[in-house]
């Protein structure tokens, strides 16, 4: 019988996960189908429970369900519990639903393998305070960054995340994303990470950058988690400033590879997944 696996989110028009995961399943010779499951919030619990009723590996979870899904699972692994957001569900023994977050793995692997960047002792500016920022912040705290400034439209959310990361031993503070002081934080940053959807194709913020022109220093690394388009307005600004850049596609592939290995117990074919993601990106931008 064909195994099923898929992704919960709403809407799901821009998701690359079906293309890259199906390519991996096929490359490994597995009889499995990866599907997009557009699921509005009011139908999420029933959809999650249905994972127990079919021959199913599990699921990926994306916006807006990464936090809401937690109460629908049987347990979380400890790291995921600390982050407070789930992006992967594994069906254990055909009935137990376990929540994981592979974003930390995807984030750190991208930093090291794609950019050769070691966060230890570095000054970081995080843009955003949602689930993606929580994963990035936790990852950077683990790696011993020197300082983290968290900029967000809603300052109270940034303050809550800063307090949480300070509890992990990081030196973290919060700032409004439209504050004049943000320019000073940019100027001294070794790493700037966009954890928002600003600049994403198809979003209400398409074509925009989270930072004004001229704020990015030439000596830093700018990591934009947005993967569509591959060169976002923020990355274009960074390139113009002479900064190093890293787009969101490698993170998407590496977090997906970690999920694939949890579901199947097999090594993920990273190159195959990356090629499939790039092809899917090209299709989207036609």
Token digits for 4? 């099923």
The answer, yes or no, to whether the previous bond of 269 is cis (omega within 30 of 0) is no
* C-alpha–C-alpha distance, residues 168 and 261, integer Å: 28
The active-site residue out of 66, 122, 143, 183 is: 66
For 278, the 3-state DSSP assignment is helix
* C-alpha–C-alpha distance, residues 284 and 286, integer Å: 6
Instruction: Tell me the pLDDT band of 137, cut-offs 50, 70 and 90.
Output: very high
Do 72 and 114 lie in one domain? The reply is no
Instruction: Tell me the pLDDT band of 285, cut-offs 50, 70 and 90.
Output: confident
Q: Residue 146 belongs to what domain range? A: 104-246
Do 194 and 150 lie in one domain? The reply is yes
Do 236 and 115 lie in one domain? The reply is yes
Do 95 and 197 lie in one domain? The reply is no
Token digits for 10? 């709403």
In the chain, the number of structural domains is: 2
Give the model's pLDDT for residue 92: 95
Do 24 and 147 lie in one domain? The reply is no
Do 27 and 121 lie in one domain? The reply is no
Pairing of strands 3-9, 56-61: parallel
Instruction: Tell me the pLDDT band of 286, cut-offs 50, 70 and 90.
Output: confident
CATH (domain of 115): 3.40.50.720
Average pLDDT, the chain: 95
Do 278 and 199 lie in one domain? The reply is no
Instruction: Tell me the pLDDT band of 263, cut-offs 50, 70 and 90.
Output: very high
**Mean predicted confidence (pLDDT) in 154-172:** 95
Query: What is the model's pTM?
Result: 0.93
Instruction: Tell me the pLDDT band of 184, cut-offs 50, 70 and 90.
Output: very high
Do 54 and 150 lie in one domain? The reply is no
Is residue 233 scored above 80 in pLDDT?
yes
Give the model's pLDDT for residue 7: 98
**Mean predicted confidence (pLDDT) in 57-66:** 94
- For 215, list phi and psi in degrees, rounded to 5: -90, -15
pLDDT higher for 200 or 97?
Answer: 97
Do 83 and 131 lie in one domain? The reply is no
**Mean predicted confidence (pLDDT) in 153-166:** 96
CATH (domain of 275): 3.40.50.10860
Is residue 13 scored above 80 in pLDDT?
no
Do 256 and 224 lie in one domain? The reply is no
Is residue 104 scored above 80 in pLDDT?
yes
Is residue 1 scored above 90 in pLDDT?
no
Instruction: Tell me the pLDDT band of 63, cut-offs 50, 70 and 90.
Output: confident
Do 240 and 111 lie in one domain? The reply is yes
- For 243, list phi and psi in degrees, rounded to 5: -85, 160
Do 228 and 115 lie in one domain? The reply is yes
Instruction: Tell me the pLDDT band of 139, cut-offs 50, 70 and 90.
Output: very high
Instruction: Tell me the pLDDT band of 131, cut-offs 50, 70 and 90.
Output: confident
- For 138, list phi and psi in degrees, rounded to 5: -60, -45
Residue 185's nearest CA partner among 137, 217, 144 is 217
Q: Is 66 a catalytic site residue?
A: yes
| Sheet-wide strand order for 244-246 | 172-176, 147-152, 123-127, 191-194, 221-224, 244-246
Is residue 192 scored above 80 in pLDDT?
yes
User: What contacts 109, CB < 8 A, 6 or more positions away?
Assistant: 250, 251, 254
Instruction: Tell me the pLDDT band of 284, cut-offs 50, 70 and 90.
Output: confident
Is residue 190 scored above 80 in pLDDT?
yes
Is residue 159 scored above 90 in pLDDT?
yes
Token digits for 48? 């999650």
Instruction: Tell me the pLDDT band of 12, cut-offs 50, 70 and 90.
Output: confident
């Amino acid at each position: 019988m064909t195994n099923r696996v898929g992704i919960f989110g709403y809407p799901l028009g821009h998701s690359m996960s079906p293309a890259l995961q199906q390519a991996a399943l096929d490359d490994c010779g597995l009889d499995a189908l990866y599907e997009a499951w557009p699921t509005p919030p009011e139908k999420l619990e029933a959809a999650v429970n249905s994972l127990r009723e079919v021959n199913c590996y599990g699921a990926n979870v994306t916006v807006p369900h990464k936090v809401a899904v937690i109460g629908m699972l049987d347990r979380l692994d400890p790291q995921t519990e600390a982050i407070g957001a789930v992006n992967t569900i594994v069906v254990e023994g055909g009935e137990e639903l376990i929540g994981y977050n592979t974003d930390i793995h995807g984030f750190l692997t991208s930093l090291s393998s794609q950019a050769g960047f070691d966060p230890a002792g570095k000054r970081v500016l995080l843009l955003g305070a949602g689930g993606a920022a929580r994963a990035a912040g936790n990852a950077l705290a683990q790696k011993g960054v020197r300082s983290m400034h968290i900029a967000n439209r809603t300052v109270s959310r940034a303050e809550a995340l800063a307090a949480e990361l300070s509890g992990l031993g990081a030196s973290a503070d919060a700032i409004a994303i439209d504050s004049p002081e943000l320019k000073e934080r940019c100027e001294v940053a070794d790493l700037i990470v966009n954890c928002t959807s600003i600049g994403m194709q198809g979003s209400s913020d398409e074509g925009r950058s989270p930072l004004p022109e001229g704020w990015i220093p030439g000596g830093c690394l700018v990591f934009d988690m947005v993967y569509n388009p591959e060169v976002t307005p923020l990355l274009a600004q960074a390139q113009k400033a002479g900064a190093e850049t890293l787009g969101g596609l490698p993170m998407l592939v590496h977090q997906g590879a970690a999920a694939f290995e949890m579901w199947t117990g097999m090594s993920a074919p990273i190159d195959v997944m990356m090629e499939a993601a790039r092809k899917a990106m090209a299709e989207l931008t036609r």
